[in-house]
C-alpha cells in the first residue's frame, strides 16, 4: 500500500513525464527555483527536450526567475517542440551577450504562454547609441530567432528590451500571434519585431509599444504579412532602412493591413539610404485599411533617409521602389505634412497607387498637405490632403 501511495510523488519528481503522448520537461525538476538564476537548469531541460523522440514541452512555470543568455539550439529530434513560458525571465541588469534567449536551427517550434521576457532595459538605454553612431556597442535583445522554420510564437510578452525586442534572421514560415511588446517611448533602438533575410513571416493580432519601429522589415525578405497590429508609441511600421550594407538583397511582398497606429513619429513608411552601398529592388508593398491617431508622418516614402548625417545626401539612392499602394488610410496627423513621397532622383518610384486617404490636421502650422518628389502616383478616391499637391523639400532632416 505504501508503495502505491508513493507512485504519484515519484511521477512528479521524474525529470520528464508523459501526458497524452507528449513529454513534459519542467525546469523546476532540473533545479530551477524562483528568484534564482536558472540558466543552467534551462539549458539542461532544453538538451533533454530537444533530444526527445516524442513531441515535447519545456515548461517554465509561474514565478520570477533570473536568466543569463540562453542558447536553445536545434535541430531537435522532438517535432514539434514547445517552450511554454508562464513565469517572468529577467535579464541581468548589466549588459552582455547577444540576447536573453536565442532560438536557432529549429523546425516546428511553438513558443507560448502568458510569461514575460524582461530585458530590464532601463539600465542600458543610456548606452544604446547605435542609432547615432556607425561604431557602437550593440546591446542584447530579448529574443532572437535564427534559421527557425514552420514555427509559432503566441501570447508571450517582451518587456523593456535593451535592444530589439524580437529579431528574426533566416527564418521561414513563422507566425507571431497575440504577442505583446512593451517599452517606453524614450527607449532607443528597441524595435518591436525586426525581420531580415526571412520568408513567409506573419505578425497577427498583436500590441506593440516601444521607442523605435513597432515592426521593421529589413533587407532580403519575401512575403511578410502584418495584420491587426496596434502600434504606439514608437516610430510606426517601417520597411527599411534599406541600402546601408553591401550584402543586402531584394525585399518583395510586404502587406500591412487593418492596423491601428497612434502617437508615433511615423505611420507606414518605406526608407532607403542615399549613396546606397548596393542596388536592389523593393517591390510589391501594400498598406491598406490603416487607422492613424496623432501620427507625425502618417504616410511616407523617404529615399533620403539619413539620420544623424551618417551618409552622403548628394548621391541618390540606388534602391528601386515599385508596385506600392496606400489605400483606405484615415485618422489624424500631428503635423501638416500628412503624406510625403520622396523617391530617388536617379531611380524614381514606379507603380505607386494612392487611394482613399482621409487624414486631418488640427494644429496651427498651416493647412494639411501632401508633398512628393520623383514619383507620379495613380490617385483615386478620397484625397484629403490632395495627393502630391506640393513638391517636397529635398534634403530635409530625416525622422528616426
Question: For 381-397, how does the pLDDT look when each residue is reduced to its tens digit (9 = 90+)?
Answer: 999 999 999 998 766 66
Q: Is 165 a catalytic residue?
A: no
pLDDT at site 115: 98
pLDDT digits (tens, 9 = 90+) for 242-254: 999 999 999 999 9
Closest C-alpha to 99, from 47, 156, 162: 162
pLDDT at site 53: 95
pLDDT at site 134: 63
Band (pLDDT 50/70/90 cuts) for residue 4 is very low
The set of residues, in sequence order, having a beta carbon less than 8 Å from that of 86 and lying 6+ positions away, is: 59, 60, 61, 62, 113, 114, 115
Angle among Cα 83, 88, 91 to the nearest 5 degrees reads: 100
Model confidence, pTM: 0.93
pLDDT beyond 70 at 150: yes
Residues 94, 131, 178, 235: which is the catalytic one? 235
pLDDT beyond 70 at 234: yes
Instruction: Give me the residue label for grid cell 510578452.
Output: 157
pLDDT digits (tens, 9 = 90+) for 157-174: 999 999 999 999 999 999
* Burial grade of 342 (CB within 10 A; 0-12, 13-18, 19 or more): buried
Q: Work out the number of other CB atoms within 10 angstroms of the CB of residue 332.
A: 18
pLDDT at site 39: 98
Angle among Cα 368, 339, 240 to the nearest 5 degrees reads: 150
CB 91 within 8 A of CB 120: yes
Closest C-alpha to 219, from 288, 132, 280, 140: 280
CB 331 within 8 A of CB 295: yes
Interval 217-240 mean pLDDT = 98
Closest C-alpha to 249, from 220, 273, 283, 272: 220
pLDDT at site 21: 64
pLDDT beyond 50 at 29: yes
pLDDT beyond 90 at 311: no
Fold (topology level) of 17-151+165-175+186-193: Pectate Lyase C-like (2.160.20)
Closest C-alpha to 54, from 26, 10, 20, 83: 20
- Give the mean pLDDT of the chain: 92
The CATH number corresponding to 213-400 among 3.30.360.10, 2.160.20.10, 3.90.1150.10, 1.20.1260.10 equals 2.160.20.10
**CATH 2.160.20.10 intervals, the chain:** 17-151+165-175+186-193, 213-400
Amino acid at each position: 500500500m505504501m508503495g502505491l501511495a508513493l507512485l504519484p510523488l515519484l511521477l512528479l519528481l521524474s525529470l520528464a513525464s508523459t501526458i497524452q503522448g507528449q513529454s513534459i520537461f519542467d525546469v523546476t525538476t532540473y533545479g530551477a527555483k524562483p528568484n534564482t538564476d536558472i540558466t543552467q537548469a534551462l539549458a539542461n531541460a532544453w538538451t533533454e527536450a530537444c533530444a526527445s523522440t516524442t513531441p515535447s514541452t519545456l515548461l517554465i512555470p509561474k514565478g520570477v526567475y533570473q536568466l543569463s543568455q540562453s542558447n536553445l539550439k536545434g535541430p531537435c529530434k522532438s517535432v514539434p517542440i514547445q517552450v511554454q513560458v508562464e513565469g517572468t525571465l529577467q535579464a541581468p541588469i548589466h549588459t552582455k551577450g547577444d540576447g536573453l534567449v536565442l532560438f536557432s536551427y529549429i523546425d516546428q517550434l511553438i513558443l507560448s504562454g502568458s510569461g514575460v521576457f524582461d530585458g530590464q532595459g532601463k539600465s542600458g538605454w543610456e548606452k544604446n547609441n547605435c542609432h547615432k553612431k556607425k561604431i557602437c556597442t550593440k546591446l542584447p535583445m530579448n529574443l532572437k530567432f535564427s534559421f527557425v522554420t514552420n514555427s509559432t510564437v503566441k501570447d508571450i510578452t517582451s518587456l523593456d528590451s535593451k535592444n530589439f525586442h524580437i529579431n528574426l534572421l533566416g527564418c521561414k514560415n513563422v507566425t507571431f500571434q497575440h504577442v505583446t511588446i512593451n517599452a517606453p517611448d524614450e527607449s532607443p533602438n528597441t524595435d518591436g519585431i525586426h525581420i531580415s533575410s526571412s520568408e513567409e513571416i506573419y505578425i497577427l493580432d498583436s500590441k506593440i509599444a516601444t521607442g523605435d519601429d513597432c515592426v521593421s522589415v529589413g533587407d532580403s525578405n519575401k512575403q511578410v504579412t502584418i495584420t491587426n497590429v496596434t502600434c504606439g508609441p514608437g516610430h510606426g511600421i517601417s520597411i527599411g532602412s534599406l541600402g546601408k550594407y553591401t550584402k543586402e538583397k531584394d525585399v518583395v511582398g510586404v502587406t500591412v493591413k487593418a492596423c491601428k497606429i497612434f502617437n508615433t513619429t511615423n505611420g507606414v513608411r518605406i526608407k532607403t539610404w542615399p549613396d546606397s552601398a548596393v542596388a536592389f529592388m523593393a517591390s510589391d508593398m501594400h498598406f491598406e485599411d490603416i487607422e492613424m491617431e496623432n501620427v507625425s508622418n502618417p504616410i511616407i516614402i523617404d529615399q533620403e533617409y539619413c539620420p544623424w548625417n551618417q551618409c552622403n545626401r548628394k548621391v541618390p539612392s540606388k534602391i528601386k521602389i515599385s508596385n506600392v499602394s496606400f489605400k483606405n488610410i484615415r485618422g489624424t496627423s500631428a503635423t501638416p505634412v500628412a503624406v510625403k513621397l520622396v523617391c530617388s532622383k536617379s531611380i524614381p518610384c514606379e507603380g505607386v497607387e494612392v487611394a482613399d486617404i482621409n487624414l486631418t490636421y488640427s494644429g496651427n502650422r498651416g493647412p494639411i498637405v501632401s508633398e512628393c518628389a520623383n514619383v507620379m502616383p495613380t490617385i483615386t478616391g478620397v484625397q484629403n490632403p490632395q495627393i502630391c499637391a506640393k513638391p517636397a523639400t529635398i534634403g530635409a532632416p530625416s525622422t528616426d
